[in-house]
Copies of this chain bind each other. A is one copy, B any other.
Amino acid sequence: MTKSPMTTEEREGGSVFAPKFDSAGLLTAVVVDHGSGDVLVVAHMNAEALQATLSSGTVHFWSRSRGQLWMKGETSGHVLNVESILVDCDQDALVIRATPAGPTCHTGARSCFYRQIDASGGDAVLVKLPT
C-alpha cells in the first residue's frame, strides 16, 4: 500500500517529523549559539547529514562545494554540540541550538556573520562588527 501524502495540516500541525528536502535534496540549517543566542552559521543538510547530526549529537552538513558529507569541525576540532533542534512550519528549515567547541567560521571568527551591511550612504558597504 502506498502511504498517503501528508496533508498541509499534518505537515504544519502534526508531530510527525517529515523533513522536506528541495530539488537538490537539501534543507537549510541555521546554527545558533546556545549560550549567546547569536546565529553562528547557515548551511545545508541532505538526509545523510541530518541523520548523522541526530545520531551523533554533533552538527553535520552537506558541503555543496565539495559534494560530500561534512562534520563541522572535523579538521579544526571546532565541533558544534547539539543542544536542541527546531523545525519550521513546512519542515524545510531547521534551527539548531548548539554549544561550539571553538570559533565556528573558517576565518577564525566566532560566527560567520561578522559584518553588517551599511546602506545609509546609497551603495551598501560592509562594516566589521566588534569581536
Contact = CB atoms under 8 A, between A and B. Distances in A.
Stoichiometry (number of copies): 2
A71 B112 CA distance: 27
Nearest to A64: B22
Given A30-B39, A95-B39, A85 B116 contact: yes
A95 B117 CA distance: 10
Interface in A94-112: 94-95, 105-107, 109, 112
A116 B86 contact: yes
A89 B117 contact: no
Interface string A82-95: 00111111000111
10 contacts: A15-B115, A15-B126, A17-B125, A42-B93, A54-B117, A85-B116, A86-B116, A88-B112, A89-B107, A93-B113
8 closest cross-chain pairs (CB), A and B? A86-B113, A88-B112, A42-B93, A37-B37, A17-B124, A85-B117, A15-B126, A89-B112
